[in-house]
Amino acid sequence: MIFDNDWDFLKMQLKSAWGEKMHFIYTLLIPILILFLNKNLYFPDDITIYIYWSYIVVTTVFHGFLINLVRWRENGRFKNISLLVKSDHTVILTNILVQLIVIQIEIACFNLIMAIFVTHLSWETFVYGFLASFLAVLISSSMWSMFLLLKLKRGTFNILTGLIFILGLISLGIRPQGIMKHFLVIVSPFQLTYELYNIAFNETSLQVLLGICVGVYIIVGIILLWKISLRTPRHRL
């Protein structure tokens, strides 16, 4: 099947994303289960929900964007896709758009379940989650896309990114403070995404750091978009 335009490719990608049932276990079912396990805890404000949003965004981008593109590159599927679409850039941008759509639906479902079964959420929280997630997805995609530059075998790549993923998740759970928080904002997608949602409650120094990180990662993401190749690398470790 030859695509007449990028819209056809987008629809195919969306259909493929909804078919990845295992991804939704990691990205949506797990945070919902954790939410119900903690439903008797006191939720003083929206700051707590930002942790769940951050988890949903980063895990969805990790599994749906990064791992998906690496799998295509490794199994040679991209060679077939490249005959149907214009360029690598089209594949990457479409994949990001698909993850954005999936994440907006996941966060909306999570918020609805939380509002019905756990605690009241204002309509402002729903709107804020929708709007802020656009930027969160772009930043998370930019951070993970840097790993596409690594010329590693799939096994080595999975181990490396998996360790980073786990360490970032742990850092989100321990709620670091001081210099460690500032450091993790720079290097951890989880911490950066969480603090981005929580920016209104952060001190001025952290807000400035967030602004710098957002600007830098967006610029880096744009540059990488033109540099990344999804062709299978010849020399890998």
SS3 content of the chain, % helix, strand, coil (to 5): 80, 0, 20
- pLDDT at residue 237, as a whole number: 44
What per-residue confidence (pLDDT) applies to 236?
47
Q: Which helix (H) or strand (E) holds 172?
A: helix 154-174
Q: Domain-by-domain residue ranges, the chain?
A: 6-38+45-227
Measured between alpha carbons, how far apart are the two ends of the chain, in Å?
35
Burial (CB count <10 Å: 0-12, 13-18, 19+), residue 90? middle
Per-10-residue mean pLDDT for the chain, 237 residues long? 62 78 82 79 69 90 80 68 66 85 94 87 90 92 80 70 72 76 88 90 89 91 72 48
Tokens for 16, please give them: 């493929």
CB 220 within 8 A of CB 147: no
pLDDT for 96: 87
